[in-house]
Structure 1
Amino acid sequence: MELNTIQPAVGAKHAKRRVGRGIGSGLGKTAGRGHKGQKSRSGGFHKVGFEGGQMPLQRRLPKRGFKSMNAPFRAEVRLSELNGLAVADIDILVLKQAGILPVVARDVRVILSGELTRAVNLKGLKTTAGAKAAIEAAGGSVA
């Protein structure tokens, strides 16, 4: 193959459509736009979703739902997950290294779910009232 012999594939290139060049071309007179109406005019078109003045669908339907931007940074930890850890002093870094929390988690809360059978000391973690009572009942502390 030489540089001077390279050609586009057969059918890849085709002539530009020249409209409005007489009856014989098949695209004369109305130039493929049909007859009359807004779409046939030069510059005559409307925005996406416009329904001719009728209230558009996206405005007829009710607004619903909300996606929090903070969701990926919030996380919950169960008491049963704390029970499975080998260390007694627990903070966010320990939980991330154990794979219990995602790396991006910043706002961590310990919830009352499962049982805690040993004493653990929490540092820098928020807890629910029930979880705090369960931790203290097991001989642990929340700082």
Structure 2
Amino acid sequence: MKLHELYPFPEERKSRKRLGRGRGTGQGCTAGKGNKGQNARAGGGTPAWFEGGQMPLARRLPKRGFKNFDFRVTYAPINLDRLFATFAGKTEITLDDIYASGLCSKNVPVKILSRGEGAAVTVEAHRFSAKAAEKIVSAGGKAVILEAKDASEPVSS
């Protein structure tokens, strides 16, 4: 027997409160909400962040950081060591190869990072870190930067 298999017997279970079903139940008339007022109304009560009318904490504190979430481009980072281990012996690594191998999700922009050693390979990606591109080029390969799909995505230089 496990913890999730335990259950109380039917006679041990507490029956629910039947609110508003007459005075004989002890919860008739106002159904335990008292007489009138904000909390007696349907949908009544204050929200969790309400601070009694004083300026709430969320509005007192300064706002910082990047807020333009709809247009932010998130790249899938792939390091050189992982890339070359996956495609050992290949001379050309395309974006379709990267997606097909499962290194990142499909249709996600890819950025190649510099951990690992360079190799004489042609690599296609949306972005390269400066060191990663330098390692690939110095080893005799090529770093091909792909154009962004639409105008909202930035194109690295």
TM over 0.5: yes
Number of equivalent positions: 129
Aligned to 1:6: none
- For 1:1-143, list aligned pairs within 5 A: 17-18=20-21, 32-34=32-34, 38-39=38-39, 45-48=44-47, 49-56=49-56, 58-60=58-60, 68=69, 74-84=75-85, 85-86=87-88, 87-105=90-108, 107-116=109-118, 118-143=119-144
**Distance in 1, Cα, partners of 2:92 & 2:36:** 79
Q: CA RMSD in A?
A: 4.1
C-alpha contact 2:20 2:28 (8 A) present in aligned 1: no
* Residue ranges of structure 1 left out of the alignment (5+ in a row): 1-10
Identity %: 37
How has the CA–CA distance of structure 1 residues 88 and 125 changed in structure 2, closer, same or farther, with 3 Å as cutoff?
farther
Higher RCO (CA < 8 A, seq sep 6+): 1
Aligned to 1:7: none
- TM-score when scaled to structure 1? 0.59
**Distance in 2, Cα, partners of 1:69 & 1:110:** 24
How has the CA–CA distance of structure 1 residues 83 and 43 changed in structure 2, closer, same or farther, with 3 Å as cutoff?
closer
Query: Which has the larger displacement, 56-65 or 88-97?
Result: 56-65
Shift of the alpha carbon at 1:131?
1.2
* Residue ranges of structure 2 left out of the alignment (5+ in a row): 1-13, 145-157
C-alpha contact 1:73 1:104 (8 A) present in aligned 2: no
What's the CA shift string for 1:70-127, capped at 9, x where partnerless? 779521121112322132111111112222222242x2111111112x3101235421
**Distance in 1, Cα, partners of 2:112 & 2:29:** 75
Task: Indicate the structure (1 or 2) with the bigger Cα radius of gyration.
Answer: 1
C-alpha contact 1:72 1:104 (8 A) present in aligned 2: no
Structure 2 SS opposite 1:76: strand
Shift of the alpha carbon at 1:51?
3.8
